[in-house]
Structure 1
Amino acid sequence: MNNISRAIAILGIATALGGLTPAVYAASVVNPNYPSSPMPATETNAQDLFDRGVEKSDRGDLHGAVEDFNRVVQLNPTFVEAYCNRGLARAALGEYKAAMADFNSALRIDPRHADAYTKRGTLMIELGNFPGALAEFNTALRFDANFADAYYNRGLAHSGLGNAKAAIADYDRAIQLQPEMAEAYGNRGTVRYRLGDKSGAIADLQQAARIFSAQGNVPAHQQALTFLQTIQQPSTAKPPVQP
């Protein structure tokens, strides 16, 4: 599962984060700014189970991942990232209520966990609650002002609310913090095109395609090329801004 901190990747496309499909999630499963909770020596197998759950998620074995994360939180009920990642897997399975419960549990354990707010916000986007999502990302950035995924996802929320300029500003910041975030280039490109900046849109989509290709993400690379071909054709309809 390409993770979910970057929810809807318009170029990851599906949409976003009908059912949360693995293709729409893109970003670190574990935010390096929020390391896993320390565990007593007698519980070191919980870390192994967590790592295995992440690997299963990456392979698309979401049910297997949930089973591993279940065991992790049994062994260590305060393992915040286990709740977050179980929430991601459940969201990808369409189990939105359970996913929300996991993100809520993570935040009860650590109310300042920016990554958990961001993940909960991406789920709100999927559920169509853009104002709620915006509030989540604002909170995440209050606790971590340099969290690229929060800026990226806030850009998606702004886009969903029709705030194109605010969306571009957030994509700009996400790219500044993480220059190889292909999804941010792709989404910024489509917003620019909607605003009439065709040359800027083409440049962004070309950059997105380049990065996706370098990452080996063939579907997203092809999608970026398809968008490019579409907007480079004369008198073509403008592609919709996601979400």
Structure 2
Amino acid sequence: MKYLLQTLLVALLVGCNSQDSISGDDYFDDGEFNQAAEAYTSYLSTHPDHVKSLYNRGRSYEEIGETNKAIKDFEKILELDPKHISSYLSLAKIAYNNQDFNKVLIYTGDVIDLNENLAQAHFLAGRAEHQLGYLDQALESYNNAISINRDFGEAYLYRGAVKVGKDRISSACEDFKFAKSLDVPEANGAIKDYCK
């Protein structure tokens, strides 16, 4: 009888913890990021190496502006799984928002080493290169993103911006117009400013 009660108690605790992870997913989907982070934290208290919950908690922290906590979660994931592409991309986005463009290039380089066919990695690399004034490299990165995903509107927009910097206005306008056809809102302003 005592063994049966212990088994039931363990099953209930595991079920509750499992429910915390599911609740975290539900909260995240509903945009309730504080509650999501709390639910994931509860689950991680007994499953500290659960990569999916760590990643989702990190994303929740990002959404509520707790970027240092998000970074810690993403870095822990990379200790557990050095090939976790989503963590590298999340770290690259945080680094970009913090204007640490050299770090963006490190993280996107790691992603591209793991999978060179991710348009988002090439695009983020292009954005960082663009900010650093490496226009030729940025142009190549945007070209790579577009060759992987022909409908990547923002890549056309920023490739057009690089072309403006290289005084290739006619070609830039083609990119701005294509970005507009892909519903990139900023393309309208670029067309107005550069395309007659």
What is aligned with 2:62?
91
Shift of residue 126, structure 1, vs aligned partner? 1.6
Q: Distance in 1 between matches of 2:33 and 2:118?
A: 26
Shift of residue 158, structure 1, vs aligned partner? 0.9
More helix by share: 2
Give the aligned residue type for 2:73: D
Among candidates 156, 164, 167, match of residue 185 of structure 1: 156
SS in 1 for 2:191: helix
What is aligned with 1:37?
none
Number of aligned residues: 183
Q: Distance in 1 between matches of 2:149 and 2:186?
A: 21
Q: Distance in 2 between matches of 1:91 and 1:47?
A: 18
What is aligned with 1:227?
190
What is aligned with 1:118?
89
Superimposed CA distance per residue, residues 32-89 of structure 1 (whole angstroms, 9 cap, x where no aligned partner)? xxxxxxxx999764664354244234xxx43244334434534643332433333233
Distance 1:94 1:48, change over 3 A: closer
Contact 2:24 2:37 in 1 (8 A): no
Bigger shift: residues 156-165 or 68-77: 68-77
What is aligned with 2:100?
129
Distance 1:141 1:42, change over 3 A: farther
Contact 1:189 1:204 in 2 (8 A): yes
SS in 1 for 2:30: helix
Among candidates 31, 34, 42, match of residue 63 of structure 1: 34
> What is the root-mean-square deviation of aligned Cα atoms in Å?
2.5
Distance 1:211 1:125, change over 3 A: same
Q: Distance in 2 between matches of 1:119 and 1:62?
A: 16
Gaps of 5+ in 1: 1-39, 213-220, 234-243
What is aligned with 1:107?
78
Gaps of 5+ in 2: 1-13
